[in-house]
Structure 1
Amino acid sequence: MSELQLARAGAGAGAGAGAGAGAGWRRRVESQQATEQQQPQQQPQLSNSCATGKPPPPPPPPLSPPPRPHHSPANTLSITNACSCRPASVVYAVLILNKAGGLIYQRDFNPGLQKLSSNDYLILAGTFHGVHAITSQISPTNEAASSGLEVLESENFVMRCFQTLTGTKFLIFAEPRQPNLDVVVRRVYELYADYVMKNPFYQIEMPIRSEGFDRHLAAYIKPHQ
């Protein structure tokens, strides 16, 4: 075969290979175009909710804990004052004796009880003064001086005695089985010190005539009768 024929055969083979490569490239381009044409048809199915123009529903609100019960400061303050300042027991009577056993103050707080006369209260004060002195002597001897009779209990009442350093005695008669009589008798003593002993016109060991003491004592005891 001459050189001219070889050149023509090589050119024909190159043209055939180039035509085959071009046909393959055209097929790839056509398949890619067909794929791109199919994608817009599937997009409305994927984003159907957005195509309608309606916003998505809002998420549900978070669960909140139940509200706590509200306690007003006024109610809390009134409960605290009632527990710390006022007696929870029923007080029948308050008596104050001087160091000689004389009755210098007496007041009843329960109108349902049987009334005693002035002489009966004087006898009661003198009798208790003698019993108190006897019990202070027959008590077991200690380094500290005996305080004598402090509590007297019965089925119908309980009596609490508080004696000051000057010998003045405070007697509280109340209903039985009351645990806070110590608080009551000391509060009565505080009122006595504020409204009786601080009065420059009061004479010690004499009967008590003080409107301020009467008013504050009634305000302390009567609300819980």
Structure 2
Amino acid sequence: MNNVNIPSSEQDLLERAQNLAGLSLGEIAKHAGIVVPPNLTRNKGWVGLLLEQVLGASAGSRPEPDFPHLGIELKSLPINEQAKPLETTFVSVAPLTGLVGINWHNSYVRKKLARVLWVPVISAKEIPIAERLVGMPFLWSPNEEEEALLAQDWQELTDMIVLGEVENIQGKHGQVMQLRPKAANSKVKTQAFDKNGKPFMTLPRGFYLKINFTQGLLHRYLRVN
């Protein structure tokens, strides 16, 4: 149960996050009374959950930003010592049915990315989890160019889903955002439609920000190359 006070404002949240910069995950977890797992194989979302708890996130598993009263989503960003992102960033599960009337402006992806608190964490594989350091967090909203790129990718990928091409979507599709399987294991299936409009079962899909996009954010906000 989260017993941390909910941040009262955007500035309050940012200051809390900035106070974590330079601390290790072990130090943060110890102060919060949370046990550090031996690895993240079965605890992939542990870092994000730790940060949510210590920063006072209140959304839980509800489909809204992590700090709903502020409209801010929290994203931990694993980077190496050279401040390069180590992986793509999950945004949201992609609906594969019921897409009538959905457009970019009312899409869940746009809502999730409207305002994001990014928390970089130096997470090279050789560094034990407890010794991984938090970098300098920053708040971001898409500028006009970023929004246009995200909207274009969302439209392209959504059109392919609607046209029954979900099985043909690959990582190369999309300039800054991609669609790829998102499931705990291959037994998890969800319904989609083929190009003849017939339903079939497939792996759930998720929208992910590509590394080149988050690298650009780090470059712009933290002045890293």
TM-score (norm 1): 0.27
- The structure with more helix, counted as a fraction of residues: 1
Which structure has the greater CA radius of gyration?
1
TM-score (norm 2): 0.27
